[in-house]
Amino acid sequence: MNPNGPLLHFVIAAGLLDSFNPCAIAVLLIFIALMFTLSKNRSAILSMGFVYIMFIFLTYLAIGLGLLKIITIFSIPHLIVKIGAWIVIIVGLWGLKDTLFPGKRNILAIPIGSRQLIASWATKATIPAAAVTGILVGLTEFPCSGAVYIATLTLLSSSTTFLKGLIYLIVYNFMFVLPLIVLLLIAANRMILEKMINLDEMNSDRIRVISALIMIGIGIVILKWFV
């Protein structure tokens, strides 16, 4: 793996940009708010928050490894990359449409039923429950933010071996959770958390629009420079 190669730069940027999605941000803030509601102190919130984020990382990594293995089976790399790029563009356009012209459900949002299941586990407020919550969030937010991941996986399948792809996936997923770690450290202060929740609620549509535009942009970058 060339540490200065354009593929590594793309993976780092894609992982970081993928973390800027309404699902990951909103759910983390809700999780921390629940901890405060249950009268947990800062150290307990940080402990459970780190476990929660670690299991999002592990779940997303496991999903990525499974998909990378499946995608690698197909021996038509350029076509696979094009398909991945168009998937992320179409999902971005669809998310843009759902946000600007709301319907029954926004594609860039976790379903209500899934949110209720996540909340039921989060309210248990234990380390094992935080781990289960992280797994559930990783699984349920994948349809919300997975398009960028899929596009990156198709690119890796055509550009690296499976083992090198694993290293890139670890880098991608670390970048994906890095902003969540920073957010956890900041939002573990109750006053700051309240302000962040208000900002998130006031700007939720704007965040979804930006997230959709990021998806479209990543798809275009892949088609222009990596196909």
pTM, 2 dp: 0.86
Asked if residue 7 lies in contact with residue 154, where contact means CB atoms within 8 angstroms, the answer is no
Mean pLDDT of the chain: 85
Q: Which of 10, 49, 43, 17 is nearest to 30 (CA)?
A: 49
The CA-CA-CA angle for residues 42, 44, 50, to 5°, reads 100
Up-side HSE of residue 178: CA atoms within 13 Å toward CB? 14
The percent of residues in the chain predicted with pLDDT above 70, rounded, is 94
Give me the helices (H) in the chain, please.
6-18, 22-37, 42-73, 77-100, 112-122, 127-140, 142-159, 162-187, 190-202, 204-225
Total residue count of the chain as it appears in this document: 227
pLDDT per residue, tens digit, the chain (227 aa), is: 454 478 999 999 999 988 877 777 777 888 888 888 877 788 888 999 999 999 999 999 999 999 998 888 876 767 888 988 999 999 889 888 888 887 666 666 677 777 788 888 888 878 999 999 999 988 888 877 788 899 999 999 888 888 899 999 999 999 999 988 998 898 888 888 888 888 877 888 888 888 889 889 999 998 988 87
Summarised one tens digit per residue, pLDDT across range 47-103 is 999 999 999 999 999 999 999 988 888 767 678 889 889 999 998 898 888 888 876
